[in-house]
Amino acid sequence: MQRWRQRALPTIGKQRDKIMFKNRGIIILLITAVFALGGCVAPPPRERVVYHESVDDQNYGGRNCHLCGTVRDIDQVEIRHGNSGGGAVLGAIIGGLIGNQFGKGSGRAASTAVGVVGGAAVGNAVEEDNARHASGYAWRFRVQLDDGRWATVTQYENGGFRPGDRVVVRRDHIEPMMER
């Protein structure tokens, strides 16, 4: 009886080490999945302008203000962000890696398949949720510039602008013009 226990103890220790190694692998994969799905987060919506200013146009205090103008029209527009499918692909890869850690033989193949499908569903849902939160309403301003050109600027905040207001187009938004 004593010999059996002495032979069984090293085997139990090896099994315990295998389980601990497997658990570490699962934890590492889960942490990787969290950070990878964080990459599916849609960036915050960007303000848009139809052209960009050059270095010479940044000073609007003088007579030659190429970015100064008058607001002529304001519309509220809906901004929608779509789903690229990247979340589903990344989720499927991560789910497959996690599912592959379970079972042996055909059980491992089945758990990998379940991980792929489940990961794809979760990744797609995360991407859709992020796109829904990034979508919303914005303001589109049509500005007649002093040099005769027109600029269309879309930004999320209105800033209290009304048609007839004097403004300066600054990179991707408009600002009230400070008269000197």
- pLDDT tens figures, 119-158: 999 988 888 888 887 778 888 999 999 988 999 998 888 8
Element holding 166 (H helix, E strand): strand 166-170
CA angle 27/33/34 to nearest 5° reads 95
The pLDDT of residue 56 is: 45
Residue 179 has pLDDT above 70, yes or no: no
Q: Map out the domains of the chain as residue ranges.
A: 1-38+83-134, 46-80+136-180
Class in CATH terms, 46-80+136-180:
mainly beta
- Rounded Cα distance between 153 and 62, Å, is 23
pLDDT in tens, 75-88: 998 888 788 888 88
Confidence of residue 55 (pLDDT cuts 50, 70, 90): very low
Q: What is the pLDDT of residue 54?
A: 44
pLDDT at 35 over 80: no
CA pair distance 169, 171, nearest whole angstrom: 6
- Average pLDDT for the chain: 77
Predicted pLDDT of residue 48: 54
Q: Provide, rounded to the nearest whole percent, the portion of the chain with pLDDT above 90.
A: 17
Is 70 exceeded by the pLDDT of residue 10? Answer: no
pLDDT of res. 9:
53
CB 67 within 8 A of CB 170: yes
How is residue 6 annotated by DSSP? Answer: H
Radius of gyration of the chain (CA): 29
pLDDT (0 to 100) of residue 52: 43
